[in-house]
Amino acid sequence: MKLWRTLIQRSVSQLTRFAAALALLALLIMVSSVVYPRPLLVVFAMSVGHVIGGAAFACYLLAVLVDVSRSNPPSDSLAPSEAKAPSRSKTP
């Protein structure tokens, strides 16, 4: 829960920019293995390149999740005064 709150506090744009930079790095590795098919480069592209690409997509999905949860905050994250407002109105 603490990790989730930390992520929520982080900027979604920052996370997306990080994902874009990671994806560019992964694409560069994959393209280089197509242009120069040397043993080490092909192995590197199929392992490290794919992991970096997967991490980039995971960061993007996380950014979308954080963005969605920000636009629909859960009830327990509301301010105490807002959360108690309905019960106060029922008080005779």
In this chain, which of 12, 62, 65, 69 binds other proteins, going by CB under 8 A? Answer: 12
In this chain, which of 21, 48, 78, 85 binds other proteins, going by CB under 8 A? Answer: 21
For residues 8 and 66, is the Cβ–Cβ distance under 8 A? Answer: yes
Piece of the chain touching other proteins by CB under 8 A; list 2-10, 56-64, 72-80, 84-92: 56-64
Q: Per rule CB under 8 A, is residue 73 in the interface with other proteins?
A: no
Rounded Cα distance, 67 and 47, in Å: 30
- Shortest separation between residue 82's beta carbon and other proteins, angstroms: 25
Q: Exposed/middle/buried for 74, CB within 10 Å: 0-12, 13-18, 19+?
A: exposed
